[in-house]
A and B are shown apart, each in its own frame.
Chain A
């Protein structure tokens, strides 16, 4: 099959697991003989050239907080329109790849930052079959303006976009639909995965009587809400319960002072350490050396890759019971689940530290099931089937590329004029 992958970012330029998962899926499909081309945005910092990756889209770097804080309100609105709704430049890039590469199917990933709604409208207009891999509530994000759903966008999205969705959890699907966007077409649940076969060297649990907790996220800040504040608070509770022999290492890029302040407030500097960003290999080593992986993430966390990678190395995930990954595994069998509050996490940590919960068997079972059923090699045939099924779809009622581009320019101009009229009148 000829597969055109569309993603806002593509590693090594990435934010987190979504982009990493995209790359792993691409590599796996290429390994299986498919001709895959990636359409993504120009990187935010220089990267090595790869022949199959076309970095020709323009990204609105919505992740650059500093720039946004310095921007005028109208600039923020205009950027958001281009980021979420329409970028004729990127529609042009997409049309170019469709013409040149002639894919059987388009495999869509994260579309924030590249005018995702317009890209999907373009595919719809041209009748190009697509499969959309959802590891976050992207359809909902694209139908919003400044955090609020635009009902007209949501209704048209639901009316027009019929395709194949691969979602990493039922919770994610429900979240998108509860938010007002119906996903029409086929929806298949495909969990996130691990890749690679390096098992590493598993260190003994609770060695020296110390509980070693690790956690990781791409960004550590209040806004992303991966629950690091819950984790730090749980450390304080754990200490109140009389446990002092523990460490918590938090990996990821710290972008505000929320967590450092909290650590300082609770005088936890000697136990809770912000370790900064690390490579995947370094994180893997950290997982092998740690006892549990804390994942006190927000309830709407669709899945997350890090807990899987940790569990594959025997580092037992302790996850919020309401998040996406929780629906795939059993408590006490493959991982541990806690209510998302400091007390519940502290209570579980205390039970582990005191030996009431036996980690080794959970770690062994979790590692085995993940390596067997949640490895990319086990997942990619399912992706392949979805792509093949979509590729067989008829292209009925399709418009022309010229029309699609003209519509995109018109939409973009209208969007810009109307945003400025509303803010600058």
Chain B
């Protein structure tokens, strides 16, 4: 049995108020890919929470249903709604995004009691330890990870399927006429674990850098501005998708400099479960450069679609190389685009995921029979 309706439960929808990252764009992209893979027969409803109930279409076959939250939680990931059971009742499968939250715990409880197959994906958010205490992942029918690195974090006996990618390779595509490449680019949230301070420090003085992302910590932004003094660093703090796409097109490479240990000495076990902006960049035909941290190396073919570095000095060297070798940039960019189309496009990921959903629904029907 193919699922006709799948619910994606996500505590915060990707919007202006969101404090999360690519992990929220990922469910939306996957939803579109699933709908496409089903030949238009499977609708995906993203279920999220807000002050008031509302429903809208986000894309063809993908809707957003906002449930009124029971009360405003201290941590936004812990949001719950009394209306959740009603929202899940007519779906064939529930995919919970953000595994370690109260939203996920309640969703799991409701979905399992309603005898729905359940998939769970961790996006790095952590708000409630209750699920871990109980071993709630054991209640899932399938864990969906988006990198091998991410998969290694799940402590469960349940089967794990790794589905890499999910980038919108139609929206993020090379420009018909590429503008001159004249900079390096960072795209992401301006947070210490992104290691932007390391990137600025490693930038050769004569190489321009654009830092594009929303600041969440004023003191970190101030530190970055201070480090940027004397260098050619531009901050773009409120870019929309079109601006970001244009920045990808203008760049020699996009750099994701995330670190396990940030400048304040805080450690981050999983600073990047995928590195979505690297894939967006590659989809735009722009090479990617990443620290050998988290899942990022899994998505870069060394020397073919970009580089992985092990030290700031090595990063500096790669930056100088690409700034000086436009033909290398173009060659890598072409390959990167090709790789994304074949492996990481949302329709590719969606097809794999839809197969998983179909299998789970068929298994459930066999058990019922």
Contact = CB atoms under 8 A, between A and B. Distances in A.
Interface of A: 121, 124-125, 150-152, 155-156, 159-160, 396-399, 402-403, 406-407, 409-411, 413-414, 417-418, 422
Interface string B139-173: 10000000000000000000000000000000000
B114 interface: yes
B368 A396 contact: yes
B134 A160 contact: no
B85 A155 contact: yes
A13 to B, nearest CB: 31
Most chain A CB atoms below 10 A, which of B89, B113, B138, B364: B113
Given A406-B135, A406-B139, A414 B369 contact: no
Contact of B134 (A155, A409, A417, A422): A409
Contact of A414 (B85, B89, B102, B364): B102
A306 to B, nearest CB: 39
Nearest to A151: B82
5 contacts: A152-B83, A152-B86, A403-B138, A406-B134, A410-B136
B41 interface: no
A399 B115 contact: yes
Interface stretch (B104-112, B221-229, B246-254, B280-288): B104-112
B368 A414 contact: no
A163 to B, nearest CB: 15
Contacts of A413: 130, 133-134
Interface of B: 71, 80, 82-83, 85-86, 89, 102, 105-106, 108-110, 112-115, 130-131, 133-136, 138-139, 364, 367-369
A414 B127 CA distance: 13
Given A152-B82, A160-B114, A403 B139 contact: yes
Given A121-B113, A124-B113, A410 B364 contact: no
A125 B113 CA distance: 6
A255 to B, nearest CB: 36
B130 A156 contact: no
A92 to B, nearest CB: 13
Given A397-B364, A397-B368, A413-B133, A407 B109 contact: yes
Contacts of B80: 418
B106 A414 contact: yes
Most chain A CB atoms below 10 A, which of B82, B134, B136: B134
Contacts of B110: 156
A411 B368 CA distance: 25
- The 9 A-B pairs with the shortest beta carbon distances in the complex, nearest first, are A397-B368, A152-B82, A410-B134, A396-B368, A413-B130, A409-B134, A397-B115, A156-B85, A411-B109
Contacts of A397: 115, 364, 367-368
B112 A152 contact: no
Contacts of B368: 396-397
A233 to B, nearest CB: 43
A150 B83 CA distance: 11
A112 B56 CA distance: 42
A399 B86 contact: no
Given A396-B368, A411-B109, A414-B105, A406 B130 contact: no
Given A396-B368, A406-B135, A410-B130, A156 B113 contact: yes
Given A398-B367, A410-B109, 7 more contacts: A152-B82, A152-B83, A155-B86, A402-B138, A407-B109, A410-B139, A414-B106
B207 to A, nearest CB: 51
Nearest to B128: A417
A368 B213 CA distance: 87
A413 B139 CA distance: 16
Contacts of B131: 410
Most chain A CB atoms below 10 A, which of B83, B89, B115: B115
A292 B258 CA distance: 86
Nearest to B85: A156
A414 B102 CA distance: 8
A238 B83 CA distance: 55
B103 to A, nearest CB: 11
Contacts of B133: 413
A422 B71 contact: yes
A407 B85 contact: no
B74 to A, nearest CB: 8
Contacts of B109: 407, 410-411, 414
Nearest to B113: A121
A407 B139 CA distance: 8
A422 B136 CA distance: 24
Contacts of B89: 159
A403 B112 contact: yes
B102 A152 contact: no
Contacts of B134: 406, 409-410, 413
Contacts of A121: 113
Nearest to B129: A413
Contacts of A407: 109, 112-113, 139
Contacts of B130: 410, 413-414, 417
A406 B82 CA distance: 21
Given A152-B82, A403-B139, A410 B108 contact: yes
B85 A406 contact: no
A156 B133 CA distance: 26
A396 B71 contact: no
A232 to B, nearest CB: 44
Contacts of A399: 112, 115
A151 B115 CA distance: 20
Contacts of A422: 71
Nearest to B81: A152
A414 B136 CA distance: 12
Contacts of B367: 396-398
Contacts of B82: 150-152
A159 to B, nearest CB: 7
Nearest to A405: B134
Nearest to A156: B85
B115 A152 contact: no
Nearest to B367: A397
A402 B157 CA distance: 13
A397 B363 CA distance: 10
A78 B369 CA distance: 40
Contacts of B115: 125, 397, 399
A156 B110 CA distance: 9
B218 to A, nearest CB: 28
A112 B135 CA distance: 29
Nearest to B131: A410
Nearest to A403: B139
A409 B110 CA distance: 14
A125 B80 CA distance: 23
Contacts of B105: 410, 414
Nearest to B112: A407
Contacts of B106: 414
Most chain B CB atoms below 10 A, which of A150, A399, A414: A414
A425 B135 CA distance: 27
A355 B112 CA distance: 65
B221 to A, nearest CB: 32
A364 to B, nearest CB: 53
A41 B108 CA distance: 29
A398 B130 CA distance: 25
